[in-house]
Amino acid sequence: MNGDGSKGDGSSLISIVAPAYNEEGGLTQFALRVDAVMRSSASAYEIVFINDGSTDETLSVMRSLRATNPNITIVNLSRNFGKETAMTAGIAHAIGDAIVIIDTDLQDPPELIPEMIDGWRAGYDVVYAQRTGRAGETWMKKTTARLFYWTVKHMGPVPIPENTGDFRLMSRRAARALLQIPERHRFMKGLYAWIGYPQKAIAYRREARFTGRSKWNYWQLWNLAIEGITSFTIVPLKLATYLGFLIALTAFAYGLFMIFKVIVFGEVVRGFPTLLSVVLLLGGVQLIVLGFIGEYLGRIFDETKQRPLYLLESVSWSAAAEERTKAPSSNDVRTPKVVGQR
């Protein structure tokens, strides 16, 4: 079992954590669909919206939604911190017994949530949605995604399930584990896998965006891939060692061969082009390896600064969260000791 008390009964609360960055066009539709789904599954719920420093009307749309639906918490960040951090902020402010992370652009169908809840009730700590199709995505994005999963699978210590995003349900225990991870560089896909606990996949078709467009460009995706690799494996650092050995050995053998040639055949030393290309090759290899080291060094630098993960501009709590502070309880989740809030 997943170690949470209140679930077989009907009293459990589901928190739906929804990060939004410039999503003014789809939020109302999103809230409507979530509400319809949660009503029909007869589960008590709250939506935890995170306004990740949007520059459009996202915040005021959230506020007007909250005016008619008391089940909404709004976590308003001080600026744009990126989705990974926004999700962490949302989880930290969610008070539910289970927490669902979902995109607000309606690419993740809320209709899947009841199935996730069933999985959770059956004892799984994490129920993640695994996409079967990537509608509306380019060939290029599909290929690069496949390449990324392959690399991480062969380099990392924990396998990351393929074609899985952030859309998932987590038990309170799994969410607590996630909040205990103090890393500034939060590669969430890896962290979900790292925490372990019983996990289950459910298949779904990822839809095209409702409105607007993806905030990810290829440069950001590339950086995310580097993030994924560097935060979970030091294989690139080891690569330098082995590459060094290989080149040194080859050079040594080649040296012996040259001496042999000079002694036996009395050949004069030739090969300025060879010399140049070897020097350039080695220079290049050394710079690449320095770059590897730099990637890790930069991350150490970021982690040692110990900055808070995010800053809050304001928080408006849902009715359920307000309720919970009024009734003093031994496990008040509203003031958790979490990263980013010190």
Residue 94 and residue 15 in contact, taking contact as beta carbons nearer than 8 Å: yes
x/- track of binding to Mg ion for residues 87-106 (CB under 5 A)? ------------------x-
Residue placing its CB nearer to ligand UDP in the complex, 97 or 129: 129
Q: From residue 321, how far is each of 137, 334, 341 by CA, in Å?
A: 38, 7, 17
Cβ partners under 8 Å of residue 274, min gap 6: none
- Among residues 21, 124, 149, 317, the one that binds ligand UDP under rule CB under 6 A: 21
Least distance CB 296 / ligand UDP (angstroms): 25
Q: From Mg ion, ligand UDP, none, which one binds at residue 23 (CB under 5 to 8 Å depending on kind)?
A: ligand UDP
Q: From ligand UDP, Mg ion, none, which one binds at residue 257 (CB under 5 to 8 Å depending on kind)?
A: none
Residue 91 and residue 173 in contact, taking contact as beta carbons nearer than 8 Å: no
**Residue corresponding to tokens 């899947």:** 112
Q: How many CA atoms lie within 13 A of 306 on its CB side?
A: 2
- Among residues 88, 104, 107, 171, the one that binds Mg ion under rule CB under 5 A: 107
SS3 for 46-107 is EEEEEECCCCCCHHHHHHHHHHHCCCEEEEEECCCCCHHHHHHHHHHCCCCCEEEECCCCCC
Name the DSSP letter for residue 125.
S
Total of residues contacting Mg ion (CB under 5 A) = 2
Q: From ligand UDP, Mg ion, none, which one binds at residue 19 (CB under 5 to 8 Å depending on kind)?
A: ligand UDP
Least distance CB 182 / ligand UDP (angstroms): 21
**Residue corresponding to tokens 């939020």:** 27
Sign for the pseudo-dihedral over CA of 114, 115, 119, 121: positive
x/- track of binding to ligand UDP for residues 69-88 (CB under 6 A)? -----------x-xx--x--
Rg (CA), the chain: 25
x/- track of binding to ligand UDP for residues 281-320 (CB under 6 A)? ----------------------------------------
24 touches ligand UDP by CB under 6 A: no
19 touches ligand UDP by CB under 6 A: yes
Residue placing its CB nearer to ligand UDP in the complex, 220 or 241: 220
Exposed / middle / buried, residue 179 (Cβ in 10 Å: 0-12, 13-18, 19+) = middle
Task: Give the C-alpha separation, 219 to 206, whole Å.
Answer: 23
Nearest by Cα to 51 from 6, 86, 10:
86
- Among residues 23, 24, 46, 125, the one that binds ligand UDP under rule CB under 6 A: 23
Q: 97-126: which residues touch ligand UDP (CB under 6 A)?
A: 103-105, 107
Q: From Mg ion, ligand UDP, none, which one binds at residue 173 (CB under 5 to 8 Å depending on kind)?
A: none
Run of H or E residues at 186: none
x/- track of binding to ligand UDP for residues 177-216 (CB under 6 A)? -------------------------------------xxx
SS3 247: helix
Residue placing its CB nearer to ligand UDP in the complex, 228 or 236: 228
Total of residues contacting ligand UDP (CB under 6 A) = 16
Least distance CB 106 / ligand UDP (angstroms): 9
Least distance CB 166 / Mg ion (angstroms): 10
The encoded tokens of residue 127 equal 């129920």
Enumerate binding residues for Mg ion (CB under 5 A). Answer: 105, 107
Enumerate binding residues for ligand UDP (CB under 6 A). Answer: 19-21, 23, 52, 80, 82-83, 86, 103-105, 107, 214-216
